Amino acid sequence: MESTTLPGRRNGIDDEELRRRLRTDLAWQGFSGNGRTWTCPGCLRTVQTGPFDDAMAMLTAIRDHLHAACATARTSPLNLQPPHLLRAAIERADTSFHLAHDPAWQGKLGDGRWICPGCLEVQTFQAEGDEALAHVLAHRHACRGLASGARTAAEVEAVVVGAAKQEKDSSSDTWMGLRPSDMAAGAETTSAEASELNAVREFQVNLMRHAPEVPGFRIATSYEACTNLSGDFNQFVALSDGRLAVAQGDVSGHGTRAGLLMAIANKLVELYARQYDDPRQVAIQLQRAMADDLGGRSFLTMAYGVLDPKTRTLSWIRAGHGPALLWRNATGAIENLLPPGMAVGIPMHEAFARSLALAETRFEPGDVFVFATDGFTEAMDQDDEEFGMERMARQLQAAGPKGPDAVISAIRTAVAAHRRDVPVADDQSLLVIAANSL
């Protein structure tokens, strides 16, 4: 956040603590609606904050809400809402914002039926009335097109025009509103799109570098997309002096949009890793390259570091990513590592740079270090309970002595058992580094 003093400090969370939480805590980074709304993690109310480039207005709006309207902010310790309720509230606020302000979300036919800006299909419900938001939210959960990103207002308008023309031109030689020539063209398009999608997925998988041999270490990874394309990536860059750059990233959402952003971020990390020795600079350059385009609509969390086999040290940063776990072979203890750092995506470059802290982790013989995307920790069971970091830590503790492949197998098996019949809802990636015993 900008270094500025907010007037009128009152009882409750102070200004410095608010800045720190907005910089480092994902629960406090619930911006939606192109960055113009913020969802309070305490009471789940939506706060209109204004544009991201007006730091004073944003901080003042949030501070005023916390002091005047949110009872949770005045308690000690702070009692925040569960993550799944916070995510639902953010999604509701984002959907409400777009329905009110985004022309692409306001397309409808003459009878009032809503046109989804993701899949461009005409829905059975009308876009107005008290139940409209609930219907749109329910459709949003099931629509892969919206997970990939909304289309433009012009594309939605083309559907409106096309539907009106089709209704006008409909005749007896149609079946279910489609002429035979239309159906044939649609089949060809579907086949071509499937082939193109497979090609993109193959390209995306090829971007994933296999971990090279590093003296004194064993490295293993796991990667699984919940749809055809993934927003997760693991990356390795062998540096000229024998060190190894390692990265794990997670683009918000999944599907085509997340897959495209993942590919861009993956390649930029590779390029910046060769240019900058300081892990902080790699993240800062990635922020400057991508944040303006993301515009608060999507975010990228990332862990990035440089492993030095000579000093047996990993120098790394965490840009809004989940905690890293370290199992100490000598004691069997688990360390939960969470250095400060904002996620890539909010176009506030100076605040992003100030938020990053460089961590140094020294490996002793047999130690095992784990990066994981939140597809594992936030995996839900039938009772909407998350798998969580504690369960992951227990799996690491049990499998750590057996090496990185065993750790990955144990975590994946435990998460699958936790979910049971609940479908995978997010991409899942693991990156495990184990120091050899001497």
Mean pLDDT, rounded, for 338-345: 92
Buried b (16+ CB within 10 A) or exposed e, 295-306: ebbbbbbbbbbb
Taking all residues of the chain, what is their mean pLDDT, rounded to a whole number?
80
Residues 6+ apart with CB under 8 A from 331: none
Q: Are 356 and 284 in contact (CB under 8 A)?
A: yes
pLDDT above 80: residue 425? no
Helix (H) / strand (E) element for 244: namely: strand 244-251
Domain boundaries, the chain: 15-94, 102-168, 201-435
Question: pLDDT tens digit string along 157-179?
Answer: 777 777 665 555 544 343 333 34
pLDDT above 80: residue 274? yes
CATH topology of domain 201-435: Phosphatase 2c; domain 1 (3.60.40)
| Among the ranges given (59-63, 140-144, 227-231, 320-324), the one the predictor scored with the smallest mean pLDDT | 227-231
Q: Are 404 and 220 in contact (CB under 8 A)?
A: yes
Cα dist from 302 to 184, 237, 279, 324, whole Å: 44, 15, 11, 11
Q: Are 371 and 361 in contact (CB under 8 A)?
A: no
pLDDT above 70: residue 403? yes
Q: Are 108 and 160 in contact (CB under 8 A)?
A: yes
3-state secondary structure 309-325: CCCCEEEEEEEECCCEE
pLDDT above 60: residue 185? no
pLDDT above 60: residue 297? yes
pLDDT at 220: 92
pLDDT above 80: residue 429? yes
pLDDT above 70: residue 414? yes
0.75 exceeded by the pTM?
A: no
Mean pLDDT, rounded, for 94-100: 83
How far is the C-alpha of 326 from the C-alpha of 337, rounded, in Å? 8
